Each structure stands twice: as structure tokens, then as C-alpha cells.
Structure 1
Amino acid sequence: MTAVTQARVLSHLDALESEAVHIFREVAGEFERPVILFSGGKDSIVMLHLALKAFAPAPVPFSLLHVDTGHNFPEVLAHRDRLVTAHGLRLHVASVQDFIDRGELRERPDGTRNPLQTVPLNDAIEKHGFDAVFGGGRRDEEKARAKERIFSLRDEFGGWNPRRQRPELWDLYNGRHAPGEHVRVFPISNWTELDVWQYIAREHIELPTIYYAHEREVFARNGMWLAPGEWGGPKEDERVEKRRVRYRTVGDMSCTGAVDSDAVTVESVISEITVSRRTERGATRADDKLSETAMEDRKREGYF
């Protein structure tokens, strides 16, 4: 009898994981000094988990970089530091506050510091000579990110020009770049928010507690629940109240909104996302609402 070899069919999550692992290994082979952008948020945590898998049992051959706005959620920073220590990683921190103190950046009238991250990010890339920068951006988050390639070529100022991006046929990635330029790399670009949470459930990945429902003081502004803070909230006419909320995404406290929720487990979060009709950034990020082209404008200036 002839033995028939049956091809193994990858599940949806296995296929996404395999693609991301391939991207990490491809960058390790093509570039001299890559770095992983790491904030302690869910996407960067999943990205680190994938990098650990890609090179196990060897250590991850990249350091981490966090652009710290100074308005971060304490729970997220604590989780970031625990992971760095647990895996023996090196963390570089580029501080927005340092640039403000030196007079190289100025506070915005609205107190939002997310748009101020571009200068510290590009300064850190130049200072440390990073030639590839991993980011946790996904195409489902926002229309500007839907245009992004896996390998996104950036000029010497970190700027993004859509006309200079290269085709990526058959999962072939071109990392060629001129001196001074670098490449932003997005291993989970093809994932959705639901994919991320299903993978978190499958891999038993621990997240900061603010991703699950909890009691928190918040106030309403522009249709979102924002956390009080030294950044300038609330104003005189904004009332602080305690609500049961969770965060779908985390960033600068001044522009990251919470959503009403009773989801306290991974499974209940997945159920909540399944019926949601708004993207996580569309529902919770005020900085994306500054204009119709806010994200694309910032990318052209060097934002990730």
C-alpha cells in the first residue's frame, strides 16, 4: 500500500503566529541593530511573546525601546518592568519630559503628549543606530495604518512616504535602505483586535489589569471616559465619577479613553469585542480625532 502523507493545515492563529515569527527571523538576518517598541500594552506584549518564541531557547537578540510620555498608566509601567526583568531584557527609555525640560518640545494646550513622541522616538533611533524598529501597529486599527507595509521604509527624519513603499509579494520583504534611513517593521499588521485577544487566551498571556473591568474614577470628554491626572483633566465643568470600565488600548492618559464594561476575563473580553462595531482606536483614542488625517500626518513626520 502507498503511504499517503496528509498535509497539516494551520489554524487561523497558527498561520498568523507563523507569519510573525518568520518576520522576526527575517529582520534578525537582514539588519544589524533592530529594536522592539515596547510600551507594556497588549500589542507590544503579544509582539514580545512572538519574539521569544521565534528565537527560543536562545534569548531575544533585540533590545526594547519605550517612548515615555510621562502620562502613562502606573499599572502598565509596572507590568512593563516586570516583563523586562523576567526575561532579562534591555530597555531603553526615551522621555518626552526630558525634551520638554530642555526646551526642545513644548506642552500642547490640550495636555496631550502622544503627538510629542515623534521627536524623542527619532532621536533614540539615531542615537542608538537602530536600523529596524518593530512596532505593534495593525491594519484594522486606523485607515492610515491600513496603508502600511510590513516593512515600512522611513527617511533620515523618520518620515513615511507612501510612494517609496515597496511591494511585498509572496511574503518577500526588502529591507534595503540608505545610510541614515531605517525600516519600521509590523509583525502583527495582519492581525485584528479579536485575533490578538484570541491569541492571548490561547497562549495564557498576562496583561496589565486595566485591560479588564474595574472600578475607576473617570470624567466625560468628547464622548469618552478619561482618567483624571496632572495633564489637565478634568476642567471646571467636567465632573469626576466612579464607573466600572476597562481599556481596549493604552497610551497617554490624556487621550486614552475607557469603555463601560463588565468583562473581567479573557473570554468575556472576546465576547465583548465580537459584538463591537467600533475599532479600539476609533472608540478610545482622542489623539486620532484631532483631524481627519491625524494619524497619516503624524506618520509623515516620523510617528510610528
Structure 2
Amino acid sequence: MKPPGSPLRCHGADGDALLSGAPYVLSHLEVLESESVHIFREAAGEFERPVLMFSGGKDSAVMLHLARKAFAPAPMPMPLLHVDTGHNFPEVLAYRDRTVARYGLRLHVASVQDYIDRGVLRERPDGTRNPLQTVPLTESIQELRFDAVFGGGRRDEEKARAKERVFSLRDAFSQWDPRRQRPELWQLYNGRHMPGEHVRVFPLSNWTELDIWQYINQEEIELPEIYFAHKREVFRRHGMWLTAGSWGGPQDGETVEQRTVRYRTVGDMSCTGAVDSDALTVEHVIAEITASRLSERGATRADDQLSATAMEDRKRDGYF
């Protein structure tokens, strides 16, 4: 991974814009990077207790890289928070812990399993725990008094996320009301909130899946290996290849087979589908998604297919 804190590059006809007097031009990725860095700095200056959501997925890996870049050479002024469903991919958890140790970061983990063991939450009949993340998330925000929570949501992922502002106000119950969204003209962000409320901040709002992968390639950001083609035992359910495991799959009539797959997005094993792929490198992945006409959530997330408004319903309850 390239170290954070490197200056933005500028391009001229002879490759030396500053010396030649050529126009100062930022590339598409540099514009996105600059915007995200600005968002991190604005939020850090406005809020007292920010936290960054970090699951170990590609979007949170990029978000962490940008956050470290925004404040380098100083340490990042916020801890990390992960809601662990208990059904996360082992490779992703290993990457999460490895990254935290490498950079000396502080990590808070909210465990869905703890809430189940205490009787606060109950297992769903379909085995998926993704919808169960909301209570551990919102209670962690309240208990640790976080007033700004950075999330890796992007507007291109899903129609409910397309409605989000960069600064998204949540009420005292962590609920989201699209009617309370504030205008954000000229990149002016309004973080005002009442006691008990907080703001969700989305530095990657204007990025696309392709932008994320191109930036990963440019910055040489390490990712969990399951984002690249590998052999895995999977079974078919609702048109998706799901990983076999103790969470509840496969069921009667569902046959496990070994296939060469990779993951476009990473969440709970019970609702995150793999795609057939031979993409072994970042360049191969970029070529693959350039030809795709489905967003990664639309193609591989069963929890978004529960209903036409599944994501918006979860967001209204406090989910990201």
C-alpha cells in the first residue's frame, strides 16, 4: 500500500505542470480523493467524537486509506467500529485484525452473537443476521457517545442510498427520515444536531464501484483474498452462490459444489453471494466490472431482495 499523505499529482503536457506553467489539472480519481479528504477534515473539525465503520470490505478499506491520508502525518483522530454478525467471512475478519494491528488503530466490536445470547435478539428463520446488526450498531453509538459515524455507503449501490446526503442526520433513536435531509450546495455540510442525535457521514457518496477498484489499483491497497477468484464450496439459492456453513445452509435439495468464484461485496455469509469469476488481479476485476450492468448489491446481496424497499426500511430503523 502506498503511504498516506502524498501530495495530489498534477498533470501538464510535459509531465511537470508546476514548472512548465501548464494548467493544474486533477484526474477523475484525484477529484474524488480530494472531495473525500475534504469531507473527513470538515467532519473531524466539526464533531467531538467521530468513529469510522470498518468491516474489512473494499469500501471500508478505501475509506480507511483516505482517512489516514486526510490526517497524515498525524495519527487518525478516531477509532474504528465493526458490527460482527458472527457469520462474517474468516478471511475478512483476519484482514480486519491484521489492518488494525498494522496501523495501531483502536477497534470497537459490537457482537450480534452477544445480543442473541442475552435474549435481546432472536435468530431469523432464514439464518441471515444482517438485519440484526441495527440494534448493536445503534446501541454502540449511544453508549460510546459518537456524534459522527463515517460509513462507506455509495449512491450507486442502491436506490435508498442514492437519496442520502453526505451528512445524514439521524434522530435520537438513530432513525433516518429522508424528509429531514439538508441541502449541500457548494460542498457546504451542515452538521448541526440536537443532544442525542448524530450524523452519518459518507465520504464515498460520489464514488462508483469502478472508481473504488481503480483507486485500489492506483494506491495499491491490500484487500481480503476473497475479492479475487478462488475455489470455494457453494450452493445455489435464489439465483446466488452462497457459502456453505453452520449459519443454515445448505438446506434439503440444495447441492454443494466447488466453483471458482469471487465476491463483489462482503457482508454476512448468509446473504452475500459469490459470482463466477476468473479475475485473479485488480486489473482483471476492473475489466470484469466494466462489462457488468448490475451493481454489486443488486447482483449479490439477498438482504436487498427481501422487498422493493428492503434497504430503505433498514435505514429508517438505523442501519447504514
- Place the TM-score, normalised by the shorter chain, in its bin: over 0.9
* Displacement after TM superposition at 1:4 (Å): 9.3
C-alpha deviations, 1:30-70, integer Å up to 9, x for none?
00000000000000000000001001111100100000000
| Cα distance between partner residues in 2 of 1:4 and 1:178 | 51
Q: Percent identity?
A: 78
Aligned to 2:288: 272
Aligned to 2:239: 223
Q: How many residue pairs get matched?
A: 302
C-alpha deviations, 1:15-34, integer Å up to 9, x for none?
00000000000011000000
Aligned to 2:210: 194
Letter paired with 2:128: T
Residue aligned with 1:65, SS:
strand
TM-score w.r.t. the length of structure 2 is 0.93
Dislocated runs of 4+, deviation >2 Å: 3-7
Residue aligned with 1:78, SS:
helix
| Cα distance between partner residues in 1 of 2:81 and 2:152 | 12
In the alignment, does 2:214 pair up with 1:173? no
C-alpha deviations, 1:250-300, integer Å up to 9, x for none?
000000000000000000000000000111000000000010000000100
Residue aligned with 2:160, SS:
helix
2:278 to 246, 262, 269: 262
| Cα distance between partner residues in 1 of 2:131 and 2:216 | 29
In the alignment, does 2:258 pair up with 1:242? yes
1:145 to 152, 158, 161: 161
TM-score w.r.t. the length of structure 1 is 0.98
1:95-110 alignment, distance < 5 Å: 95-110=111-126
| Cα distance between partner residues in 2 of 1:142 and 1:131 | 25
Structure 1: 5+ residue stretches without partners: none
In the alignment, does 2:225 pair up with 1:209? yes
Letter paired with 2:210: L
In the alignment, does 2:42 pair up with 1:26? yes
Aligned to 1:251: 267
* Displacement after TM superposition at 1:236 (Å): 1.2
In the alignment, does 2:16 pair up with 1:36? no
* Displacement after TM superposition at 1:229 (Å): 1.0
| Cα distance between partner residues in 1 of 2:277 and 2:22 | 45
* Displacement after TM superposition at 1:7 (Å): 3.4
C-alpha deviations, 1:198-236, integer Å up to 9, x for none?
000000001000000000000000000000111100001
Aligned to 2:10: none
Aligned to 1:284: 300
Aligned to 1:56: 72
Letter paired with 2:158: E
Residue aligned with 1:143, SS:
coil
Residue aligned with 2:38, SS:
helix
C-alpha deviations, 1:104-142, integer Å up to 9, x for none?
001100000000000000000001000000000000000
1:135 to 151, 154, 177: 151
| Cα distance between partner residues in 2 of 1:285 and 1:256 | 5
